[in-house]
Amino acid sequence: MTPLPPDYFAGKKITIMGLGHFGGQIAAIRYLLHQGAIITVTDIATEDKLKDSLELLKGLDVTYHLGGHLESDFVDADMIVVSPAVPKDSRYLKLAAQKGVSLTCEMNLFLDRCRGKVVAVTGTVGKSTTLGMIESILQAAEQTDFPALGLRKSWCGGNIGKSLLEVIADIQPNDIVALELSSFQLDDLAEIEYSPDVALLTNIYPNHLDRHGTLDNYIDAKANITRFQQPGDYLISRIGDENLEKICDLCPPQVTQWYFGEGDDANLKVRLVKHGEGHASLEYRPREGAEWEKLIDASEIYVPGEHNLFNAAGAAGTCLAIGISAATVARGLQNFKGLPDRLQLVGQYGQVRWYNDSKSTTPESGMVALKSFEPGTMIAIAGGYDKGSDLTAFGRQLAACCRITYCLGQTGPNLAATIHAAGGAVENVESLEEAVRQAAEIVQPGQVVLLSPGCASWDMFENYQHRGRIFTQAVEKYARK
């Protein structure tokens, strides 16, 4: 990767393709304006649909072409900054390429100029929670471990909805930058041939096949997290995942590979140990060939579910690779209280707990959430935008685990049919609020109501955060009665 010169953007005509609501494009606009670029924003969405993002850009010297694209914005520009959500086969991108206009994205702009040591997390399920755990550990380490390691400060951002591009000038070479990277962002990394200093892979299941086409293409995009790593870098991944093994096989030589999971494999760095009667702990090897030592008891990790113990194991291995002590890793995990929209307890009324797991946008993440609670104690709300994922196993597990499932969205009817065929109780509903209202009428003390859609949100909501807010508001409205 060859960084762009400091004054590269001054006077350049740059088109921002896709404004959206996620924040990355807004940060890119502000950064590029500060660098002296001439900015045009174009989006197929109308001004009314984008009013929240436009409000954040109020007063800035930007030209807007909304409700559709103009060819001139692509052929007469010096550069296009493309939203990850824009399809790669867009005819406007093809026009720009034919004219020799360079294409980039917000994350590539950031990584091109980031001076810090980068730690990145990806996977299909659990990457946001795992990054949150890493952030908690890094915060715990700043006062205790960082001085001895020659480190100054930690930063956290990426696909969690927080761009670091605007603060890039503040990031120093002795800082740690922790990022969540999506398959879309990783796909774009090939353009700059970049991989992070420490890479963590949580798991790989079929996902975003509407974008990538095949599982192999999806895996190939994810593989960019290690494909360009350098000697001395680290790759941490869960042992026994066949799809992850395909990525690990692409890891360059002289990159250290560590694993987390269960068992006693010689390559394991952190492992989950089950001691019986519901007791479990995480253990680690201080060095190769050493005896296992206790890292933390499972009861000290606040977020529920065995899957979160594996998330904690991955986060621990990543931070151990940085050089952070096991004691600090344990303290950081103890401090972590969970993230919004990820098995978030949003209400407890009359001995009934209401959980918001709106970040569950894949059937695999939905199935993981179901395993966090006792079978038969749950009322579930599931369904949403159709990404082309196979929902059969998810539907069968809903049938087996839940008193009843309320299905909604594009996938609702097919998911309901699968649940019914598997012998489960199910009902289709028109809205999330209606699902909450009906659940509140039948739920019993000691039971759980779980929003874990297993599908994306785009058919009915702006994003998964919007879906989570609507659920939480509905819980406030109906569950308090």
- This prediction has a pTM of 0.82
Average pLDDT of the residues in 74-93: 94
Enumerate domains of the chain plus CATH numbers: 13-104 (3.40.50.720), 109-335 (3.40.1190.10), 344-478 (3.90.190.20)
CA distances from 255 to 175, 187, 249, 289, 448 (A): 21, 21, 12, 19, 45
Q: Look at phi and psi of residue 58 and say left if phi exceeds 0, alpha if psi is from -120 to 50, else beta.
A: beta
The predicted model gives 363-375 an average pLDDT of 92
* Whether pLDDT at 22 is above 80: no
Chain-wide mean pLDDT for the chain?
A: 94
As a whole number, mean pLDDT of residues 146-163 equals 93
Distance CA(324)–CA(332), nearest Å, equals: 11
- Give whole-number Cα distances, 92 to 5, 20, 38, 49, 107, in Å: 27, 17, 19, 21, 21
pLDDT at 453: 98
pLDDT at 373 over 60: yes
pLDDT tens digit sequence for 184-214: 999 999 999 999 999 999 999 988 888 888 9
State yes or no: pLDDT of 1 exceeds 60.
no
Q: 222 falls in which pLDDT band (50, 70, 90)? A: very high
Average pLDDT over residues 21-30: 87
Task: Give residue 79's identity as a one-letter amino acid code.
Answer: M
pLDDT tens sequence across 387-440: 999 999 999 999 999 999 999 999 999 999 999 999 999 999 999 999 999 999
pLDDT in tens, 305-326: 898 999 999 999 999 999 999 9
pLDDT of residue 132: 95
pLDDT for the residue numbered 2: 59
Q: What is the mean pLDDT of residues 110-125?
A: 95
Express each pLDDT in 234-278 by its tens digit.
999 999 999 999 999 999 999 999 999 999 888 899 999 999 877
Residue 339 — very low, low, confident or very high, per pLDDT cuts 50/70/90?
Answer: confident
